[in-house]
Amino acid sequence: MLGNRYQKKIEEFLTQTDIRLNGNNPWDPQIHNEDFYARVIAQGTLGFGESYMDGWWDCEQLDGFITRLLRANLHSKVSGWKQVLHKFLSLFINFQTPSRSFQVGEKHYDIGNDLYSKMLGKRWIYSCGYWKNAKNLDEAQEEKLDLVCRKLHLSKGMKVLDIGCGWCDTAKFAAQNYGVEVVGVTISKEQAKYGREICKGLPVEIRLQDYRKPLGTYDRVVSIGMFEHVGYKNYSDFFSVVANCLNDDGMFLLHTIGNNLSKTVTDPWIEKYIFPNSMIPSAKQISTAFEGLFVLEDWHNFGVDYDKTLLSWFDNFEQSWDSLKDKYGERFYRMWKYYLLCCAGSFRARHNQLWQIVLTKNGFPDGYHSPR
């Protein structure tokens, strides 16, 4: 009877959508374990994701299911006690201190270059592609890198700092195509190792360090897909670090996922299994943090492109699974599928955004004209 009551409660929530439990549409979830309902009510989104990993439910069109849930704002109506506790603690604890900053590298970025080589495409770029004129993922990532370089007005001989340089394809692209010198910093040992290999012979230096360590002075600073690991208690310090690294006529481009609401925690399932100590910033949090340090020159939102990027990553992952499954196993497959397709659904629902923000220390005297 108790399980039946929980099922009715979830069915009540779903009346705001066209989702039906065990329905016939591809976005309808098929429930294999009746304990699913109580688990979701008790544990919220953490139990929702873990129950999928455990095989308690399936969905033919998982991304479509998540899109519909988010458009109806149902995720906010189910919160487990762990979510409430984590939100309370985040008000007092800095979860993104220098001593904790390497955890995401160990947990996520260092899990296996074999996985990322199969998933990310020709260039190992683990951030949103720019699909305006692109026909496929590789083109979208090339277009994104060139867009970044053009927005920064890069020219030969400039010194560039890349905070959160990933597997260093951004540094390599800028050095090869724009003749700049690049210093890249990362908290991932595997990223640093790979980056040093692919950048041999180029004016590129890769450092394994936290961004709060001394960095030097540069003409330009870029940060792509790293700000999501900074944490709201450190946003102001981050922008102060960037300002101190720039020459007076310097420019900074920030590429980050954005949240429609200001929050102090991330989704507990993402926190536990994918990105520990992560947090998606809001526009208010970002602009408040750089106020008094920078002039805002441009704010570009192309979040709808992340849906395409994530689906391309999933297609690559799916097609390569036979060569990966012996190492990673079935539960990892379900975890990674859930991660990629839920994120795709989130961007499709416009629940999350993707922003490129261009800042200068003193403003362009004749105004800044941004490429698109």
Whether the CB-CB separation of 195 and 171 falls below 8 Å is answered with: yes
Q: Kindly give the pairing relationship between strand 246-259 and strand 218-224.
A: parallel
- Residue among 370, 356, 342 nearest 129 (CA): 356
- Residue among 48, 71, 6, 77 nearest 334 (CA): 48
**343 classed as catalytic:** yes
d(CA 17, CA 14): 5
Look up residue 160 and give its amino acid: V
Q: In terms of DSSP H, where are the helices of 32-136?
A: 36-53, 62-71, 81-90, 103-104, 113-120
List Cβ<8 Å contacts ≥24 apart for 231-234. Answer: 231/94, 231/95, 231/96, 231/277, 231/279, 232/262, 232/263, 232/264, 232/279, 232/281, 232/285, 233/94, 233/96, 234/94, 234/96
| Crossing angle (nearest 10°) for helices 235-245 and 283-290 | 50
Q: Hey, which residues are catalytic here?
A: 343
